[in-house]
Structure 1
């Protein structure tokens, strides 16, 4: 019985001691965003050349962007735009993206990419020598290209209910779920 009283007394002292341990409040953290949670990051690459000088590839590396093990990297390519009085609106399509050439549709050019935690490699693949294209076709495929890189969690990117086919459909999914994408300059 005496042991139970001692244990009870010690427990009471410990509980009272822990309750009285209170220090100064730390500094307040930065204000959060109202109603929105940041889901990912977007980076625009304008005027990229994928010509034979660069072996039909372009490497993008940015130390300011963190890619985690559970992130997905999506790359969109703009080959067309909609005219608008406030400025042209690019149409973004998810890569890889295949373009068919020649009257029989036998020539194929694919805009593709791969990535690591540190960089994104954007490149052209084809079933023929790209140097054999006419100057006009060569320039339209390789010169002054527009790409948009998006980093989002894999769970979001792999959700079959999310439509990520175009950048606008990605934004719609993000906004509908109460998230926001940060545009990195």
Structure 2
């Protein structure tokens, strides 16, 4: 029995200390873009069902199944000596009208696409002013899920996300 045990130990050590041909180099996790952002305008209308689907591959955006996708909308800006600066607010976003109607901008995503759509209690989105349906500016941020799930990141504050994402990138290098 001792001989069998000794033989197993020696055989195990032989396999552990073996070296073979080196495999192909793997990715270091920094070659891809960490925190990819993409801005685009959407016109919501009856012909597109008051929704817009963006295919990541069509825009050259690589999204892994484990990545998180954040979507922000800019409906306001403030003047700066160098020009207008957009104010970004996360989706979902609600607009409350004085008549009790509620318009909601919302989204859903997979690792292949993001779909932004209108919702709420409005019976006919066609009655909305162009201010709410035409030329709507959105920004998508794709980031690793460990960044998105970090309790220190305030996902509702676009500027905080960008600042923390820069720090995240530096710490990964």
Please classify the TM superposition score into its range, dividing by the shorter chain length.
Answer: 0.7 to 0.9
Alpha-carbon distance change, 55 to 66 in structure 1, aligned in 2, over 3 angstroms: same
User: Which of structures 1 and 2 has the larger relative contact order (alpha carbons within 8 angstroms, sep 6+)?
Assistant: 1
Instruction: Work out the CA distance in 1 between the residues paired with 2:124 and 2:131.
Output: 12
Residue equivalent to 1:67: 63
Q: Secondary structure at the match of 1:117?
A: coil
Matches within 5 A, 1:37-52: 39-46=34-41, 48-52=42-46
Q: Are 1:112 and 2:103 counterparts? A: no
Instruction: Work out the CA distance in 2 between the residues paired with 1:126 and 1:71.
Output: 28
Q: Which runs of 4+ in 1 moved over 3 A?
A: 130-133, 176-180
| 1:109–1:126 contact (8 Å) kept in structure 2 | yes
TM-score by length of 2: 0.74
Residue equivalent to 1:144: 135
Deviation at 1:178, TM superposition (A): 4.8
Residue equivalent to 2:26: none
Instruction: Work out the CA distance in 2 between the residues paired with 1:42 and 1:89.
Output: 16
Q: Secondary structure at the match of 2:139?
A: strand
Residue equivalent to 2:122: 128
**How many pairs align?**
153
Gaps of 5+ in 1: 1-14, 23-31, 181-185
Q: Are 1:89 and 2:104 counterparts? A: no
Deviation at 1:125, TM superposition (A): 0.2
Instruction: Work out the CA distance in 1 between the residues paired with 2:170 and 2:76.
Output: 27
Residue equivalent to 2:166: 175
Gaps of 5+ in 2: 1-16, 22-29
